[in-house]
A and B are shown apart, each in its own frame.
Chain A
Amino acid sequence: MTSHNCETCPAHAQLEQMGLKVDRFDRVIALAGNPNTGKSTLFNALTGLKQHTGNWPGKTVTRAEGGFEFNGKKYKLVDLPGTYSLLSASQDEEIARDFLLFGSPDCTIVVADATALERNLNLVLQVLEITGKVVLAVNLMDEARRKGIEVDVRTLARDLGVPAVPVVARTGEGLSALLAAVEGVISGETTTDPKRSEGTAEFNAAIAELVPLIEATAPGVPNARWIAIRLLDGDARVERALRTGELAALVTRQQGPDDRFSRKIALQGAQ
């Protein structure tokens, strides 16, 4: 792929696509977002792989993994199925949710559709409840421009408390700025202050009590706060996961490769 727009990205020379070479990596990046926002297109642009893309929601149903190198650091990029929320039950959305929660990515790129920002922000806000290590990629900027939609990414970044970068994944526009933002968030150079809902005092107290309990029951769980909220809500699946010890297993599984499908799919592009 040679379509990177070089006037807009001085750091382009530092991006090296590494395809499937993800054996040794320094950092793990997750790609999340609503269905059909161009996650797989962005994945392909960064890794040089040919993951199957298509103009319909639900194209990606498994995790695909690929690698790239930026500024001398090796990254593993995990393309997740599109999801509207982190609460729903279908299996593709569960794959996305489990990785965000238990895969402990060093940074999560949430890809949003610039032409339907409001709907996309619902997921962004939910991800921010889980982790502050987030960069928002406002994709499909070309389509938005054509439709006469202007997105003020500065205001967006300020309101969300995480970096927001306009990109056009199809042409490669803005990719280096995106990666620079990711690098900043991981290194701590960019401090994030994720927008989170302020619960009532008694809600916060209940969470504060449950979190240490959960951490003691399932050691190493990265998102005890989220699990506490789900338990308070009476989420039967999370209760079952806690009971059966599945929660701990999830953590180990998410941090390994999804060896059932990802490599094969990334290679063949066939699903």
Chain B
Amino acid sequence: MSTESNALPLTGLRAPARETRQGSAPDPEQVIRRAEQLRQGLTGNFRDEAVSSIYVEAEKISRRAVRHTGDRRRFDLDQRIDRIVTSPIFGLPLMLGILAVVFWLTIAGANVPSAMIASGFFWFEDRAAALFDAAGVPWWITGFIWHGVYRGLAWVVSVMLPPMAIFFPLFTILEDLGYLPRVAFNLDFLFRRAGAHGKQALTMAMGFGCNAAGIIATRVIDSPRERLVAILTNNFVPCNGRFPTLIMVATIFVGAAFPPVVASLAAAGAVVGVVILGVGFTLLMSWMLSRTVLRGEASAFTLELPPYRRPGITRILYTSLIDRTLFVLWRAMLTAAPAGAVIWLLGNITVNGTSLATHSANALAPLGHAIGLDGVILLAYVIAIPANEIVVPTMLMVYMGGPMMTEIDSLAELRTLLVDQNGWTMLTAVNLMLFALLHNPCATTILTIYKETLSVKWAAVGALMPLAVAFLVTFLTASIWRLFI
């Protein structure tokens, strides 16, 4: 290729190029200006030409290399399934149905193993503590280790492990099957109307696993505005760290209000209701952000519906049990051990005859009462900022802490503890579920928002906006409830 024979209309400007080849580095501005000049000298729209030439070439090559032989039945089957799964009429109900089945299996299946693990762990706690006492170890060491750190760990494992070991494999099967893009497809029109990106449905789905993961997943969204909307609202779907709270409250309050036969169904229904509410808040807040600080229209995108694939059993088990269950459990245990220690200390260090835990719970009580909760629940949320997983255990440990040692082997006893000894009502249960759904993200998620946006401002918004929403909503429900009941 000879440049000399293709005289450019801008030949006068060639001198600087020669100079730079011999001597000092040229100024970037100069290079960019030169590129602009050269662009004007080109005839036709070379970009369009380049793109279309690639398309033409791809088609040509693929036509030569690919041959279709008869059998298209499988393809048709995929399409037939898709016509139902993504149909405007059946799509959403089917999705909710699948969700309900997943939660029902989780709740119904986790009850018994949870109780068994708990009683096993607490039996061991008693024996170990007794052994320490017999060996003459000072009471406060025994208490700190066994009734503090160990009990925190035991609670986390027994409350979280069984539901996770059921929920995650089910979720992973849906993921491997190829159902998630269909969910995004079904929800796209809602997100578009909220001024958000359709792929936000995908990142939201990841948020059900872990909000931090959902926030990293927003990288698939091109537009910075829509990506920010997706990041800031991801917290409104409950992550698996918050599901145990929801499941527990749903089981002992909603489930217990129904006959035993349908109790777990009703509980699953309540969790599905909370999830729908979470999606509703995601859309509402996305809409509000898109109308105010992050003004803009939704951009178009293409979403590929991949073929359905048969999930691999070993991969499902590995991903869901090792990657997800054990990973989450390990993280929860890492935070639960120090939290257990903190709670034990708060419960056993006394000032003026009252424990620090009681002092702090009392201080938080007016605020807790205003939003239909109590001081202990708020204290649990403060202690559980590092990880939402430990809210329930923290709460229970504070309730049971101090000199009064209650043992809880069954959910019925748990209900007794909460309702009879600590004055919980249906309002407490409802508002706890709302608060668990809406409140600020955990520390890891806030840190992830900062890493993804590199902005302290947006990380603060991401933390405080949900908190404000949580207080506002629970305050409203509490006020309305008290007005009428």
Contact = CB atoms under 8 A, between A and B. Distances in A.
A and B from one complex: yes
A199 to B, nearest CB: 7
Interface string B209-229: 010010011011110000100
A210 B309 CA distance: 48
A119 B324 CA distance: 33
Interface in B28-55: 28-32, 34-36, 38-39, 41-44, 46-47, 50, 53-55
B8 interface: yes
B307 interface: yes
A90 B219 contact: yes
A150 interface: yes
A119 to B, nearest CB: 8
B202 interface: yes
B74 A205 contact: no
Contacts of B309: 55, 143
Interface in A173-224: 195, 197, 199-206, 208-210, 212-214, 216-217, 219
A197 B323 contact: no
Contacts, number: 219
B26 A50 contact: no
Interface string A25-46: 0000000000110000000000
Interface stretch (B14-22, B126-134, B393-401): B14-22
A252 interface: no
A217 B28 contact: yes
A28 to B, nearest CB: 23
A120 B196 CA distance: 28
30 contacts: A50-B322, A53-B315, A54-B180, A55-B308, A55-B309, A56-B202, A62-B219, A118-B66, A121-B62, A124-B58, A150-B66, A151-B65, A153-B65, A159-B61, A199-B46, A200-B42, A202-B6, A202-B8, A204-B1, A213-B34, A216-B25, A217-B27, A219-B25, A229-B50, A232-B39, A243-B28, A268-B323, A269-B322, A270-B210, A270-B213
Interface of B: 1, 3, 6, 8, 14, 17, 20-21, 25-32, 34-36, 38-39, 41-44, 46-47, 50, 53-55, 57-59, 61-72, 74-75, 172, 175-178, 180-181, 199, 202, 206, 210, 213, 216-217, 219-222, 227, 303-304, 306-309, 312, 315, 318-319, 322-324, 327, 451
A209 B50 contact: no
B17 A212 contact: yes
Contacts of B219: 61-62, 81, 90-92, 95
B322 A155 contact: no
A161 to B, nearest CB: 11
B6 A201 contact: yes
A196 B175 CA distance: 38
B42 A146 contact: no
For the residues of B in contact with A, the DSSP-based class is helix
A88 interface: yes
Given A125-B54, A210-B31, A233-B39, 10 more contacts: A50-B319, A50-B322, A57-B181, A61-B219, A118-B58, A119-B58, A159-B65, A228-B35, A232-B42, A232-B46
Contacts of A268: 323, 327
A117 B29 CA distance: 41
A238 to B, nearest CB: 9
Contacts of B50: 197, 199, 229
Interface in A91-120: 91-92, 95, 115, 117-119
A149 interface: yes
A105 B304 CA distance: 29
Interface residues of A, number: 77
A147 B217 contact: no
For the residues of A in contact with B, the DSSP-based class is helix
B66 A242 contact: no
Contacts of B66: 117-118, 149-152
B8 A205 contact: yes
B3 A209 contact: yes
B16 to A, nearest CB: 9
Given A58-B220, A126-B54, A50 B318 contact: yes
Given A56-B181, A91-B219, A121-B61, A202 B17 contact: no
Interface string A70-102: 000000000001000000111110010000000
A90 B69 contact: no
A245 B25 CA distance: 12
Contacts of A209: 3, 14, 17, 34, 38
A232 B38 contact: yes
A153 B175 CA distance: 31
B96 to A, nearest CB: 20
A147 B65 contact: no
Q: Which of B28, B32, B172, B199 has the most CB of A within 10 A?
A: B28
Contacts of A242: 28, 31-32
Contacts of A126: 54
Contacts of B28: 217, 242-243, 245
Given A125-B54, A147-B74, A52 B32 contact: no
Nearest to A1: B314
A55 B340 CA distance: 39
A30 to B, nearest CB: 18
A122 interface: yes
A260 interface: yes
B71 A147 contact: yes
Interface in A115-139: 115, 117-119, 121-122, 124-126
Given A122-B55, A269-B319, A231 B69 contact: no
A54 B26 CA distance: 47
Nearest to B221: A90
A24 B28 CA distance: 36
A148 B71 contact: yes
